[in-house]
Structure 1
Amino acid sequence: MFEHLHVSVNGRDMHVVAAGEKSSPAVMLLHGYPQSWSAFEEVMKLLSTDYYVLAVDLPGIGSSADIGDYCKKAIAAHLAKLITSLGLSRVVLAGHDIGGMVTFSMLRHFPHLLDAAVIMSTAIPGVAPWEETKRNPYIWHFAFFAVPDLPEAMIAGHEPQLCNYFYDTLAYNKAAITPEKRQQYAGIYTTPTALHTSLGWYRAFPEDEKELAPVRPMDVPVLYIRGNKEPGMVSSYIDGLQKSGCLKATSTLIENSGHFTPEENPSGVAHAISSWLKGR
């Protein structure tokens, strides 16, 4: 079912998992924190009947080499070269959480590579309601992860507890993230490279805000997906995206899902993406 690819990008290995026919339209999936490509396993199975689906381990996670730069523009630039290295063009890029931030940076800087974009369950640095999100006391980890060195010292050896905290706090359908998956993810983020990389994503937020602040119209259609049990008004995210230049942004809610939509309701996510793409 799945083909594991190892693609050299700027001399660094990128782990990509593919499913479906290469002749079909390409959909590339980007995971968030604290997960890996396998967050999309069930979504991939469903989409691969009509699309060439690729899920990527972000740089520094799993089998993908670290690139040493954690701002979303740098990650987007690396993914842009990955797309061309794979011989793809005009892909549908879909990102969840941190992957959604990278997807937005791709929209900003490499729109010529995208046919459409899907952003799932995330706020975008510099884009409303970002400031409101940062002030939310339940998003305490933004500030903690940004502290130099201390998080590495405190998290090391406690990765399963930290990962489970996020799954149990942010998921509505908590059982969807199985014990096996939890163990797998914790094992990935136990490595010093993945731990440092994941904290780097948060430490780069101030730089991301500056990179993404300029507004210019973007013609690429954007679908914003959010779990219907996740706090926050989806209209505020669409308003922010449209004011940031995503003039063709629209939204949909995924039933019976909190933050981890691709695993909590994979059929809902796959149907939302497929029906939106076919109805454009």
Structure 2
Amino acid sequence: MARESTLSIDGLTLSYRCAGDPGSPWLILLHGWPQSKSIYDPVLDELGKDEHAIAFDLPGIGGSVGLPHGPSPCELHALAGLLLRAAESLGAHSIVFAGVDVGGMLAFAAAREHGARIAGAVIMNTVIPGVAPWSRLIAEPRIWHFAFHAIPQLPERLVSGRERAYFDYFYELLAGDKHALTNEIRNDWTRAYQRPEALKAGFDWYRALESAAQRNASPVRIDTPILYLRGDAGGRDIDDYVEGLRKAGAANLRSRLISGSGEFLPIEAPAATCEALRAFRAEIGHAA
């Protein structure tokens, strides 16, 4: 049965939910926008049968309190390093770093910048800043919100107090099975962003995308095993994403398309998501 707790690091409080034996290999699970750690509730106990699965609320979101500080607090590679250190402070080892949406961007950052400390990375349903098809994708009219969210302060002013209505637009747009995103789930995720700090934290991720794109535009060899997962309901060609990752330096890459799911794989296709994560671990082993 999943357990909930918090830890303190760098003056922040991070909330997490975990399942499984801490002596087993670790699986770090990160959510995206506008979600919280509860996106992994349908899979956490099942994954905990084989690994120590831990799902964090990203800094400032939900039960996590406080925003990162320093010269580049919102940079994706710095945030990935923070979360990796947080897990290591709990005794994490043989780590697979996995995430949906922004969480997938963080998983890529972990593989690119901190690869010697992890056994593998799983990127789910996202495009990586600066990595093809990034430039083409952000030019699409339906991806208008990337530019809007990057504007300082304005998104907070317009969305505050209207979070559920605003978020519902994206839930409807991105879900393959809209009924899987129940009213309970949507309310839970909305509450996770209702504090001003939380709303700012979510938009700050978008404000960091341009610098992440510039960083990732310079290929480096990434030997860390990477799995790219995507639901097929979005209608996008997974090969475009896989080829982009290869050109960005991913030397040990595989991919998998999950049928009948959109953006929210752990909720829309929990069994297939668990099976894909287990198969990846079996293939790569435990060594970092």
Deviation at 1:127, TM superposition (A): 0.7
1:191 is matched with: 195
Distance 2:197 2:134 in 1: 28
TM-score normalised to the size of structure 1? 0.97
Instruction: Give, as a single letter, the amino acid of the residue that structure 2 aligns with 1:102.
Output: L
Q: Is the 8 A contact 2:22 2:92 kept in 1?
A: no
Distance 1:218 1:74 in 2: 18
TM-score normalised to the size of structure 2? 0.94
1:47-66 to structure 2, matched below 5 A, reads 47-65=47-65, 66=67
Deviation at 1:231, TM superposition (A): 2.8
Question: Quick check: 1:121 aligned with 2:125?
Answer: yes
Deviation at 1:102, TM superposition (A): 0.8
1:222 is matched with: 226
Instruction: Give, as a single letter, the amino acid of the residue that structure 2 aligns with 1:197.
Output: A
33-42 or 16-25: bigger deviation? 16-25
Deviation at 1:81, TM superposition (A): 1.4
Deviation at 1:120, TM superposition (A): 0.2
2:152 counterpart (139, 144, 148) = 148
Residue deviations 1:113-137, cap 9 Å, x none?
2101100000001111110111111
1:14 is matched with: 14
**SS of match in other structure, 2:122:** strand
**SS of match in other structure, 1:16:** strand
162-171 or 83-92: bigger deviation? 83-92
Question: Quick check: 1:29 aligned with 2:33?
Answer: no
Residue deviations 1:8-43, cap 9 Å, x none?
112321112110111211111000011111100111
**SS of match in other structure, 1:245:** coil
Distance 1:270 1:156 in 2: 35
Q: Is the 8 A contact 1:73 1:211 kept in 2?
A: no
**SS of match in other structure, 2:260:** coil
Q: Is the 8 A contact 1:90 1:112 kept in 2?
A: no
2:68 is matched with: 67
2:137 counterpart (119, 133, 136) = 133
1:176 counterpart (177, 180, 191) = 180
2:40 is matched with: 40
**SS of match in other structure, 2:193:** helix
Gaps of 5+ in 2: none
Distance 2:112 2:103 in 1: 14
- Residue-pair matches, total: 280
| Overall identity of the aligned pairs, in % | 38
Q: RMSD between aligned alpha carbons?
A: 1.2
